[in-house]
Structure 1
Amino acid sequence: MLDRETLRKIRRIQIRTKVILESGIGGAYHAVFKGRGMEFAEVREYTPGDEVRTIDWNVTARMGAPFVKKFVEERDLTLLLLVDVSGSQEFGSRYLLKRDYAAELSAVLAFSAVANHDRVGAVLFSDRVERWIPPARGRDHALRIVRDVLAIQPAGRGTDLAEALRFAQRVLKRRSIVALLSDFQATGYERALGVLRRRHDVVALHLVDPREEELEAAGLMAFADPETGERFVADTGRADVRRALAVSGLAAARQTFKKTRVDALRLSTAESYERPLQGFFEARGRRR
């Protein structure tokens, strides 16, 4: 049974997602994630504006009038969402929790897939695979994914991204689209990411909170890792310490994406993802 707050979040996400998809992201998704090819649909009479190369000359000769072949895209695609639900996703300094932000992104991607008749599934992970939702079609299935991202109570606190990537490699039997939604506060996942990238179309959505990028000068401060619980003290009065704390994790993730040739988009919970995500898809589409 979902609590009232989770139900409220789901309803808000449904409304917001509908508006966002109508703004063009759904079309951008379709353009960047193409199907396996074109499938013959029918032959029909030529109309002005049809390309000459689509004329079926055999039928044209037989009928005494120009006819063209019509093709439709053969998609049959699968989108797999790998969603980080570890302890660090519960962080939110002034805006949305990273978990809530990931739920909204999951909704946009899942409903874009549904609108394009693609299957969508999800792996929710912490330091283990918390939940496996096999790919299927339909709005109800997409909504189930969003609900589970919001409502799951993970057994683990840490992040084992490598295990989630290896799990995806095992369960995906054919080439698929894999979207990683995480703050990438993990290590040791480069090899698993590279292996998955060689077989599948992988994109990374790197979720960050503003406080993780911009630390205030407040002298000696105690920090605690949200996943391991390990505590340490750092002098935030020093600019070099602030910079090191803020950028070390971000830089490591960027380097990993570069080495594995995974397209990545950094998204701040303080900002709307709508325009950056659409721009990311459009730029990616132009390179293909």
Structure 2
Amino acid sequence: METKELLKKVREIELKTRGLTKQVFSGEYHSAFKGRGMTFSEVKNYQFGDDVRSIDWNVTARFNEPFVKIFEEERELSVFMVLDISGSNNFGTRTRSKKELMLEIAAVLAFSAVANNDKVGAVFITDEVEKFIPPKKGRSHALMILRELILFKPKNKGTNLNEGLRFFRNVVKKRSICFLISDFYDENNFVEGLKIANRKHDMVALRIFDPVEKELPNLGLIKMFDAENNVVKWVNTSSKKVRTHYKNQFIKSEENLNVQLRKSGVDYASLSTDGKYLAELNKLFLKRSR
């Protein structure tokens, strides 16, 4: 992709997601992801109902009337995105591919972090860690992450979420918010790795999918390509038996994934490429803020 075309695409994504960030996530992001603790802000005159444990005895003695300390939440956070860029995420049949949906979600999260003066970083993974971008503040850093996500060509096509989670745990020592964004087509058991990461960090799993992965359309004999294993199969989608089997397999894998994510103890949401992902993301943020 040429520089001019890249800059245009990044700008389009920024304009689109910046509006969404302000419209949908302005308050939810702040309340859903709280800071590390409380820090002293100021003192005020004691009023009936104030916690007596907050009385500032030095100021009270100086002015001969009671004053209490006011504390504010320490807001500065580090937000990480562990992004699964394996071969299966190139699939898409609607307005966008899964990778393009991931790019939009990453932009929304990155600009939400920037708007709240938080640091943002990223880890790109396949079946190994492909790239690490340390967290920094500011719009220019968020845009750099998006440019890298657009241009980056992974060495591998497979998926091993444990590798990404292990790297994240080992490299990031300070408690952070971490969004694991993937279609979760991973034959490895990642539950224990997610549990361990969630003990130290605030983990959130965002599962992306395309509607056709849920239910095959009747398109006759079609060629299907497994991008992670380089396998081609011809599938007769006219057969009701084939379509029913495909749907049942999806339901089974969906139930299994939901069980695994619940076991890991993390908050999660499923986001579709058909354009309805914002409502689910907003629902997740609202649930966390209660």
Shorter-chain TM-score above 0.5: yes
Q: Which residue of 1 aligns with 2:151?
A: 151
Q: Which residue of 2 aligns with 1:107?
A: 107
With normalisation by structure 1, the TM-score equals: 0.88
Structure 2 counterpart of 1:227, which letter? E
Q: Which residue of 2 aligns with 1:214?
A: 215
Does the 8 A contact of 1:123 with 1:132 survive in 2? Answer: yes
Q: Which residue of 1 aligns with 2:89?
A: 89
Does the 8 A contact of 1:217 with 1:242 survive in 2? Answer: no
Deviation (angstroms), 1:114: 2.0
**5+ residue gaps in structure 1?**
none
**5+ residue gaps in structure 2?**
none
Deviation (angstroms), 1:255: 2.2
Q: Which residue of 2 aligns with 1:122?
A: 122
Distance 1:25 1:249 in 2: 31
> Does residue 258 of structure 2 align to residue 254 of structure 1?
yes
Does the 8 A contact of 1:235 with 1:241 survive in 2? Answer: no
Report sequence identity in percent: 42
Does the 8 A contact of 1:205 with 1:264 survive in 2? Answer: yes
Deviation (angstroms), 1:283: 0.7
Q: Which residue of 1 aligns with 2:282?
A: 278
Distance 2:249 2:121 in 1: 35
Q: Which residue of 2 aligns with 1:225?
A: 226
Residues 42-57 of structure 1 mapped to structure 2, 5 A cutoff: 42-44=42-44, 52-53=50-51, 56=56
Q: Which residue of 2 aligns with 1:141?
A: 141
Give the secondary-structure state (helix, strand or coil) at the position aligned to 1:228: coil
Structure 2 counterpart of 1:30, which letter? H
- CA deviation string 1:68-87 (max 9, x = no partner): 43322213321110011111
Give the secondary-structure state (helix, strand or coil) at the position aligned to 2:26: helix
Deviation (angstroms), 1:207: 0.5
Does the 8 A contact of 1:2 with 1:151 survive in 2? Answer: no
Give the secondary-structure state (helix, strand or coil) at the position aligned to 2:27: helix
Distance 2:17 2:219 in 1: 39
Structure 1 counterpart of 2:96, which letter? L
- CA deviation string 1:191-223 (max 9, x = no partner): 222221222211111000111112124566543
Higher deviation after alignment, 186-195 or 84-93? 186-195
Distance 2:214 2:106 in 1: 23
Q: Which residue of 1 aligns with 2:37?
A: 37
- CA deviation string 1:68-122 (max 9, x = no partner): 4332221332111001111111111121111111111111111222222222110
With normalisation by structure 2, the TM-score equals: 0.88
Structure 1 counterpart of 2:197, which letter? L
Question: Structure 1 residues 5, 212: CA separation in 2 closer, same or farther (over 3 Å shift)?
Answer: farther
Give the secondary-structure state (helix, strand or coil) at the position aligned to 1:52: coil
Q: Which residue of 2 aligns with 1:98?
A: 98
Question: Structure 1 residues 263, 249: CA separation in 2 closer, same or farther (over 3 Å shift)?
Answer: same
Structure 2 counterpart of 1:198, which letter? R
Does the 8 A contact of 1:185 with 1:249 survive in 2? Answer: no
Q: Which residue of 1 aligns with 2:161?
A: 161
Distance 2:271 2:65 in 1: 55
Question: Structure 1 residues 109, 43: CA separation in 2 closer, same or farther (over 3 Å shift)?
Answer: same
Higher deviation after alignment, 240-249 or 21-30? 240-249
